[in-house]
Amino acid sequence: MSRIFALLCLAASLQGETITAAFSDPSRPGILKLRQSNGSITVRGYSGKDVLIEANPNNKHGKSITRTQEDGNRLTITLDPNSSATIQVPFQTALQLQSSNGSIRVEKVQGEIDVQSSNGSIDVRGAASAVVAHSTNGSINVAFDKVDARRPMSFSSMNGKIDVIFPADLKANLKVQHQRGSLHCDFDLNTNAPGPEIQFKSYNGGVNIRRAQQK
């Protein structure tokens, strides 16, 4: 299988920097991978084809080194461990984001979102496919515009609160396991209804599953 290394770019500057990276096949949805230690990450969907990365240096040298590597429509971004970044991606991009201490925010991205944080909060707005989210100590807030009716999802947290808003016409099989926190759900639980299975697991935080207000 031939591997394509379409892009390898390296850049550094003393100020905040903007870097443009491209997917090797923009006609198919790409995958964006990012693992960050301390900075906050915002990823926003937009109508362009490229990925625009704005990294704000946050360390004492005021220096940020951003690297991107593309392989088979999968773009891996490496940031300075302490810098925050705002990244714009094509709407259909799938995201795989991990952060240790920073918060993660995703807006208007319609591909599948796989997001994890140890100590930061997770905030997803305008999701339109499947979301798989875990935070050990941070809260998880997710709002869906629509849901892909075939894809399972899962939301889990040890100490954070999980709050998810689904479209009013959601057809899914919701399963909740919670130990200590409260539970509120606008939908029927554990119905074994046809549709994807959506799991919620919380140990210490509460679970809040809400129906979106009709527009």
Partner 1 sequence: MNCEQVKTELPDFLAGSLNPPAQARVQDHLDACPDCSELAGLWDKLGAIPDELPSPRLRANFHEMLARETAAPKRAPAWIWQAVAAAVIAVMGFAAGRSIPREQSTELRDIRDMLALSLLQQQSASDRLKGISYTYQANKDDAQIRDALLEALNTDSSVDVRLAAVDALRRMSAQQGISDSLERPQSPLVQIALIDAVVELNETKSVAVLQKLQAASDVDELVKQRARQALGQLRSKGTL
Q: Are 109 and 48 in contact (CB under 8 A)?
A: no
Residue 43 · residue 33 · CB < 8 Å: no
By C-beta, is 54 or 197 nearer to partner 1?
Answer: 197
Residue 54 or 148 with smaller CB distance to partner 1: 148
Can you say whether the dihedral through the CA atoms of 166, 105, 99, 118 is positive or negative?
negative
One of 153, 165, 170, 174 touching partner 1 (CB under 8 A):
153
Using the rule CB under 8 A, is 70 a contact of partner 1?
A: no
Tell me: does residue 112 bind partner 1 (CB under 8 A): yes
Q: Quote the least distance from Cβ 1 to partner 1, whole Å.
A: 6
Q: Which two tokens stand for residue 124?
A: 């997803």
Q: Shortest approach of partner 1 to residue 174 CB, angstroms?
A: 14
Strand order of the sheet with strand 51-56? 17-21, 51-56, 84-90, 41-46, 104-107, 122-127, 140-144, 162-166, 207-211, 183-185
Q: Which residues bind partner 1 (CB under 8 A)?
A: 1, 31, 72, 74, 94, 96, 98, 112, 114, 116, 130, 132-134, 136, 150-159, 197, 199, 201, 203-204
